A and B are shown apart, each in its own frame.
Chain A
Amino acid sequence: MQSHKNAQMSFKLFIGILLGVLGVMTFFPFLWMIFSSFKTNAEINQIVPSLLPKEATFDNFKELFFRLNFGTYLKNTLIITACSFLGLLLNAMAGYGFAKFDFKGKNWLFMMVLATMMIPGQVTMIPVYLLLNSVGLTNTLIGIVLPGLAGAFGIFLFRQFMNTISNEMLEAARLDGASEWYIFFKIILPVSRPILAVQGILTFIGGWNSFLWPLIIANDEKYYTLSVGLQLLQGQHGTNYALQMAGATFMVIPILIVFSIFQKYILQGFNVSGIK
């Protein structure tokens, strides 16, 4: 038995080391990015590169915010991210409707929702642009946010979770004369905290990273998001890698922090989603 235990241990150690090596390889581009963002461009262009900056400087970040428009881009990105949380509420409502009610057309409506997952963005891209253009919403923040508010994956996850909420609790509330909205806001949403957390994180990530649609809709630099701005930067300062690295670092770090705080909810969320 002892030798079996030892074999188990050394096997685990081997897997651990292997994972560690692969992990370093996976994370290395980010490490390089972070350290490079504090280098001068002259140092980046050296033929023999080194990971750590010789003289760390904040100049790249200063240039992004003082000379380039990253402050505006940040503001737009934050507004878009905040607005996309309205979509979270709409998805939760739809998930509740599909999970806890019987109504005419329920099944085919839900099938339709799921089917939208298969539609490639490139098919809807041109028509949605034309639609928004005809109502004058191109080049506005509303036009950027609106098409992405409702999402099939979100509705599906909410429905899966809310299916598990007991009906008795809802019936009891109804007998006490609670309105449907009261039930939704005071009972359903508080109970759904785990799945709200998952969806909240995914919504934050999605909003923060949104790129293609803002690029299509926003013609005016004052509506650009961070990722569109970074893409612009890459075009205009193609050889200034230090500046680009600072921009990239600024986009990546907040997401990594948010995710590392909430990661255990994400894993739980995938568990309740019942993908089996």
Chain B
Amino acid sequence: MKKSKSPYFFIAPAIALLLIFSIIPIFIAVTISFTDMSLAGLADFSRINFVGLDNYLNIFNDKVFGQAMFNTAYYVIIGVPLVIIASLALAIMINFGENKFFSFMRLVFYSPSITNTVAVSVVWMYLYNPTIGLLNHLLSYVNVGPIMWLTDPSTSKLSLIIIAVWKAIGLNMLIFLAAIQGIPKEYYEAAEIDGANKWQQILKITIPLLKFSIFFVTVTTLIGWFQFFDEPFVMTKGGPLDSTLSVALFIYQRGFQYNKFGYAAAGSVILFIAIIIVTGIQMKIQTKQKENEG
């Protein structure tokens, strides 16, 4: 290790960009959230007024924001466990084989993760189409449906969750797979000699040793679902009847469609605080578990 000025030259560009585009914007967002900034204020700063807590008081009385909060909670509560269970199960299954077939399957399950949300939405909009869509056509063979998928408030949220889970599995599966492959083979050999079957090995060796990966995936997935945006934005615009509106989409609409920057910023600060709280709780649980293990 060398002490000199040169490390600063190496880190300076990246740090400067992060400061300008991540750190400073938080303080700007908090500041704007106490003002009535709108499109008029963008052209002429003197037309921005300090309004104190008005934005926050109004947003908590805003029925649409309440609906967006409810929907986001719904997405998080249903989506997060689904993503974790599905990607963990697939990673364990793929890890059973080493041949070409299994590595091909890895590519197959990863493919939705790397593809563009707009492209994917276009495809699913068609599959979900109530009259000419493929899904209802297939369901008609077993005398189910037709389901209205995206156009009925009672199924719209779940329809979006299906796509988002399908899309999220790949990356998390790879993280689990990398961690599984880091587990020493001897553990399984020893368990085999003791007569443990595959199922017992998964429960007693694989999952306990994946604790950190599961924690990592849980935190990143939670943060991701809190910011659920792309699918409702492209596919439903938050409808029908605001049934798919997420907090993130609410912020975007108020900010960039209604030009109520101050109001939208207040929404974004609330979202940020919610994410900090939930992540903090996760961290607490994680450190508690570590302490218990001594």
Q: Which residues of A contact B97 (CB under 8 A)?
A: 12, 15-16
Please report whether the interface of chain A is mostly helix, strand, loop or mixed according to DSSP.
Answer: helix
- Determine whether the beta carbon of A49 is less than 8 Å from that of B134: yes
Cβ of A120 and Cβ of B227 under 8 Å apart?
yes
Asked if residues B93 and A146 are in contact (CB atoms below 8 Å), the reply is no
CB <8 Å contact, A30 and B123: yes
Residues of B within 8 Å of A, CB-based: how many?
Answer: 98
Interface size range of chain A in the complex: 35 or more
Segment 12-49 of B: residues with Cβ below 8 Å from A: 13-15, 17-18, 20-26, 28-29, 32, 42
Q: How far is the CA of A230 from the CA of B118 in the complex (A)?
A: 7
User: B166 in the interface, Cβ–Cβ < 8 Å?
Assistant: yes
Measured in the bound complex, the distance between the Cα atoms of B10 and A93 in whole Å is 5
Residues of A within 8 A of B (CB): 11-12, 15-16, 18-20, 22-23, 26-27, 29-30, 32-33, 36, 44-49, 90-91, 93-94, 96-98, 100-103, 106, 109, 112-113, 116, 118-131, 133, 146-147, 149-150, 152, 155, 167, 174, 180, 184, 205, 208-209, 211-212, 216, 226-228, 230-231, 234, 241, 244-245, 247-249, 251-252, 255-256, 259-260, 263-264, 266-267, 270-271, 273, 275-276
Binding site for A on B (CB under 8 A): 1-4, 6-11, 13-15, 17-18, 20-26, 28-29, 32, 42, 90, 93-94, 96-97, 101-103, 105-112, 114-127, 129, 131-132, 134, 137, 166, 169, 174-175, 177-179, 181-182, 198, 212-213, 216, 223, 226-227, 229-230, 233-234, 247-248, 251-252, 255-256, 261, 264-265, 267-269, 271-272, 275-276, 279
Show 17 residue pairs from A and B whose CB-CB distance is below 8 angstroms, ordered by the A residue. A26-B111, A32-B134, A49-B132, A106-B7, A123-B26, A126-B29, A126-B261, A127-B24, A127-B265, A131-B28, A133-B42, A241-B126, A248-B118, A248-B119, A259-B110, A263-B110, A264-B103
Q: Give 14 new A-B contacts, CB below 8 A, not counting A23-B109, A259-B110.
A: A16-B97, A23-B108, A30-B123, A94-B14, A101-B3, A120-B275, A121-B248, A125-B255, A147-B21, A231-B118, A247-B119, A267-B174, A275-B213, A276-B182
